[in-house]
Amino acid sequence: MNVIILAAGKGTRMHSNLPKVLHPIAGVSMLAHVLNTARQTQLQRAIVVYGHGAEQVQAAFAGQDIHWALQSPQLGTGHAVQMALPHLSDDFPTLILYGDVPLTSVASLQKLVDAAGTHHLGLMTLLLDDPKGYGRIVRNQSDEVTRIVEEKDADESEKQIREVNTGLMLVPTAMLRRWVGSLDNNNAQKEYYLTDIIASAHRDGVTVNTCQPTFDWEVLGVNSREQQAQLERIYQVQFARKLMNQGVTLADPERIDVRGSLVCGRDVFIDVGCVFEGEVTLADNVSIGPYCVVKNATIAAGTRLEAYCHLEQAQVGERAHIGPYARLRPGAKLAESVHVGNFVEIKNSKIGKQSKANHLAYIGDADIGERVNIGAGTITCNYDGANKHRTIIEDDVFIGSDTQLVAPIRVGAGATLGAGTTLVKDAPAGQLTVSRAKQLTVSGWRRPVKKDAVSKKKD
């Protein structure tokens, strides 16, 4: 099929400098949603009709196999399709979609394909209790679709019609060329209505077959921030249902946000308020505590994230225990049974099996072996003001609290660093290394007092 996506509108009610079709649903622009769905159909050629914010729209899809048709000025949907005509192949029918209608499913589009068949015109419609604002589907006594009337042009009897136009249609391309070429703007809005081709089809004896989407929300468009938020929640609730149908336990399916891909194994539990971005994989028996943010990360089987953890571009091994309030930054790679506790930050570092950093530590640009204990307040000093340097801590090392390791530095296997140590030279394996000032007690020393307090005492 040829697929035309109308995406030229300004989106005045969005009150934004960003073109409307680039506003996101679930972290992906609306236009990208439509394109991704179109590519799952019998797509032969994708044509995007663009206009407002032209450079931004094209830049967002640079390098993709898209034919671009500029509509300037914007004179209606019929005019928009006219701009796309040079890119169409008459060998295939043409599917018309909208860049601000992001949630239409492949299954519903297949209904449209089936309705159109080989030589008919397929039209997706809805039955609404309150059809206000929509174009009405006008049928004759034989129940044939004869035309679509826009609300501003409808008389009182036509406004009572409950069947409305969604705008989605599949049209034989050669006929589309002829019908669109004969459009006029003799209507209340002085625009070229694409919907007028329905009357042309009836006049030419081409059957207009209708179908309905699987769910009404699939054909909802976005014209305001409020509508954008409504579609966001619809998307998230549908994704949550999909997860639960796959066996995932959600503490509250209305309090999860997935902005990308989330792949879950068996018996996964996700608590409330969690956000998943990019590509995220949760293996079997993973438990995610409340209000965690996980972005482009892989979490292996049996791992538990406590509340308020942030992970980005991180890999976590099996049976790890993370958090609460832990942060794993890009390049963090944790082996199995690693413990990372509250207010611990790890960046571009490897942590070996059964190693622990349970309290208030920063581990950056480090390679840490197995069974290492990182004491509270430990810092790898990886940055000299110009360059980053690595810290290497071998197996079975014990690092006391409030220790600073000034990289580049190596701590040998089995070594112990005493609390309060500032390590500037390599620590030998199996030895205790301590770097701290000698403890003194000064007899007779008194704490200073404020001058005002002394004066008041004399008075």
CA distance 203 to 213: 27
Alpha-carbon distances of 386 from 51, 278, 367, 389, 426, rounded to whole Å: 46, 31, 21, 10, 22
C-alpha distance across the termini of the chain, in Å: 98
In this structure, the dihedral spanned by the alpha carbons of residues 236, 241, 244 and 250, taken in order and rounded to 10 degrees, is 40
Angle, CA of 95, 100 and 102, to the nearest 5°: 75
Catalytic option among 67, 87, 120, 359:
359
Alpha-carbon distances of 367 from 292, 348, 356, rounded to whole Å: 26, 9, 13
Residue at token pair 């703007």: 185
Residue 314 burial (10 A CB sphere; 0-12, 13-18, 19+)? buried
Active site residue 202: no
Angle, CA of 138, 140 and 141, to the nearest 5°: 140
CA distance 310 to 322: 10
Are the C-beta atoms of 391 and 409 separated by less than 8 Å?
A: yes
Q: Indicate which residues carry an active-site annotation.
A: 359
